[in-house]
Amino acid sequence: MSVAPASLERALRDRFGAEVVSDGVPASYLTDATEARGLSGRADALALPRNGEEVAEVVAWCYEQGVSITPRGGGTGFAGGAVPQGGVVVGLERVRRIRSLEPLLWRMEAEAGVTTADVRRVARENGLLFPPDPGAAEQSQIGGNVATNAGGPHAFKYGVTGDWVTGVEVVVAPGELITVGGPIRKDVAGYDLGSLIVGSEGTLGIVTSVWLRLAPAPEAVAPVVSLHGGTAPGCDALARIVGSGLPVAALDYLDGETLRRSAAAFPVTLDEAGFMILTEVDGSPEEVARLRQAVIEVLEEDATSVWAPQAATEIAALWRWRDGVSLAVQAERGGKVSEDIVVPFERLAEAIDETLAIGARHDLAACSWGHAGDGNLHSTFLIDPNDDDERARAERAADELFELAARLGGSISGEHGLGLVKGGRLAHQWAPGALSLHAAVKSAFDPKGLFNPGKKQA
Ligand SMILES: Cc1cc2nc3c(=O)[nH]c(=O)nc-3n(C[C@H](O)[C@H](O)[C@H](O)COP(=O)(O)OP(=O)(O)OC[C@H]3O[C@@H](n4cnc5c(N)ncnc54)[C@H](O)[C@@H]3O)c2cc1C
């Protein structure tokens, strides 16, 4: 039996009740952060299950009926992964219990719908650190972070979300709740199914709960911000930091074009500059004092100015500003097409310059910023989302970025995933044999192709 789209919501409601299936699908469930590039989807129904078992029941119903399923976290993704292409949206926001927290064992089990900020806050209140720090933490969910393997500025020292996941509870086809890993630190018994789920963008199953490793929270942190004359001297300074072996926790950059659009909200008045480095050290107060001084000395070699705030309020203001850079850039024209390409660290300057050149070729304002230490750029073209021609030019420019990433020996995505917007682009960097394996993994997990169709397609 299969259900016609028109009666799908009614059939789902008959089965699960108004408690779980909403009346209509609010527009906010049809978009994610790609709304700024004009993307929006459609859905026949919205289910908001309350726990993992209910998620499994909804999936089982959909799988039996041949209805597609779009898992949705906080809707902050930059790849259109949560933008539905029909069928049922399964929102995880009500599956949000912290199932366990064991500070002395440095671990937590959190359900998928707990926000990233709450995971970090609860850890912090117990003297611990959950290091992954993607920029929309108040809205994004830990399930979404796992599904995208999200990074953030501090990934340079601490790694990305997957590095902190020791187990996942996940609903797989045809509606079974399974657990891979758990509150254990090692597990090589089977193929690493947990790692396949991490970063799978809702195309292999729905994550309902995750076991997380935590670290002791550093006693002190000290950011250092330096300004440089342009991209070349800025990247030389980055290379000196990396080469020095100083264990900095974050190593971000902003190019001059990004600074021009975001400097007004910086916590202190900034001199005009062609490049900014934002780095941070952490540890015991003594260690931080020593590292901070060493980092300043390395940067000062050619920096035009250095700002190294020590007051907690100034440090918080600095990171709040950094979290807002993406929106500040977007505000200029109302929209942007931003791609999270990765290149080997030593090719960063080339990729930053090329981003501007590609923008110029397509008559688009361009800029980039990102996690320099990881070679991860947010190469951005500003657009008016209502201007179809501009949007089309930006998509062509994005294609050139993907070619650039592949040519420089990098990747078309370091953080946001393929989602909808990079569908079909994996061939830029993978050989046919690898692409076939990619497709085979998908069909092994999801033989009917119902989990998040149209996403993460090679
Ligand atoms: C201002 C801003 C700053 C950002 N900064 C960063 C950054 O520094 N680093 C970074 O990596 N990202 C960043 N992002 C992107 C985004 O926040 C991350 O990709 C985040 O992990 C998405 O989480 P979400 O809960 O919002 O997921 P959604 O956007 O809802 O979904 C993302 C993908 O995951 C799937 N999904 C969601 N929940 C589940 C689940 N429970 N089970 C299975 N699949 C699921 C969806 O189907 C979709 O494919 C930023 C976004 C914004 C708006």
Q: What is the pLDDT of residues 4-54, one digit of tens each?
A: 776 999 999 999 999 999 999 999 999 999 998 889 999 999 999 999 999
Query: Considering only CA atoms, which residue is closest to atom 11 of ligand 1?
Result: 150
Q: Which two tokens stand for residue 359?
A: 């923008």
Query: Considering only CA atoms, which residue is closest to atom 44 of ligand 1?
Result: 202
* CB-based contact 360:352 (threshold 8 Å): no
398 lines ligand 1 (CB under 6 A): no
> Cα(305) to centroid of ligand 1, in Å?
35
In this predicted structure, what is the pLDDT of residue 37? 86
> Cα(434) to centroid of ligand 1, in Å?
25
Res. 69: pLDDT tops 90 = yes
In this predicted structure, what is the pLDDT of residue 36? 85
Write out pLDDT tens, residues 384-424. 999 999 999 999 999 999 999 999 999 999 999 999 999 99
Residue type, 306: V
Q: Name the helix (H) or strand (E) containing 169.
A: strand 165-172
In this predicted structure, what is the pLDDT of residue 38? 87
Write out pLDDT tens, residues 198-228. 999 999 999 999 999 999 999 999 999 999 9
Mean pLDDT value of segment 333-361: 97
In this predicted structure, what is the pLDDT of residue 279? 98
Task: In whole angstroms, give the CA distance from residue 32 to residue 437.
Answer: 29
In this predicted structure, what is the pLDDT of residue 140? 98
> Cα(32) to centroid of ligand 1, in Å?
9
Residue 242: CB atoms within 10 Å = 16
Res. 353: pLDDT tops 80 = yes
Task: In whole angstroms, give the CA distance from residue 442 to residue 447.
Answer: 8
Q: Rounded to the nearest 10 degrees, what angle do helices 388-407 and 348-361 cross at?
A: 150
Q: Name the helix (H) or strand (E) containing 251.
A: strand 250-255
52 lines ligand 1 (CB under 6 A): no
Please give the mean pLDDT across all residues of the chain: 97
Closest CA to 277 of 320, 245, 244, 306: 306
Query: Considering only CA atoms, which residue is closest to atom 28 of ligand 1?
Result: 75
96 lines ligand 1 (CB under 6 A): no
Write out pLDDT tens, residues 164-197. 999 999 999 999 999 999 999 999 999 999 999 9
Task: In whole angstroms, give the CA distance from residue 458 to residue 444.
Answer: 15
Which atom of ligand 1 is nearest the CA belonging to 197? 43
> Cα(75) to centroid of ligand 1, in Å?
6
201 lines ligand 1 (CB under 6 A): yes
In this predicted structure, what is the pLDDT of residue 1? 47
Query: Considering only CA atoms, which residue is closest to atom 7 of ligand 1?
Result: 134
More confident residue, 3 or 181: 181
Query: Considering only CA atoms, which residue is closest to atom 53 of ligand 1?
Result: 76
Closest CA to 299 of 281, 314, 285, 286: 281
Write out pLDDT tens, residues 426-441. 999 999 999 999 999 9
Mean pLDDT value of segment 367-380: 98
Write out pLDDT tens, residues 113-153. 999 999 999 999 999 999 999 999 999 999 999 999 999 99
348 lines ligand 1 (CB under 6 A): no
**Distance spanning both ends of the chain, measured CA to CA:** 31
Mean pLDDT value of segment 255-278: 96
Residue 161 Rama label (left phi>0; alpha psi -120 to 50; beta): alpha
Beta bridge partners of 283: 220
Which atom of ligand 1 is nearest the CA belonging to 324? 1
Residue 245, phi then psi, degrees to nearest 5: 75, 5
Write out pLDDT tens, residues 78-90. 999 999 999 999 9
* CB-based contact 128:214 (threshold 8 Å): yes
Residue type, 50: R
DSSP 36: G
Q: Which string of DSSP letters, residue by residue, matches 320-383? A: HHHHHHHHHHHHTTSEEEEE--B--GGGHHHHHHHHHHHHHHTT--EEEEEEGGGTEEEEEEEE
Work out the percent of the chain whose per-residue pLDDT is above 90. Answer: 97
Task: In whole angstroms, give the CA distance from residue 450 to residue 374.
Answer: 34
Res. 235: pLDDT tops 50 = yes
112 lines ligand 1 (CB under 6 A): yes
Q: How confident is the model at residue 2 (pLDDT cuts 50, 70, 90)?
A: low
Write out pLDDT tens, residues 79-122. 999 999 999 999 999 999 999 999 999 999 999 999 999 999 99
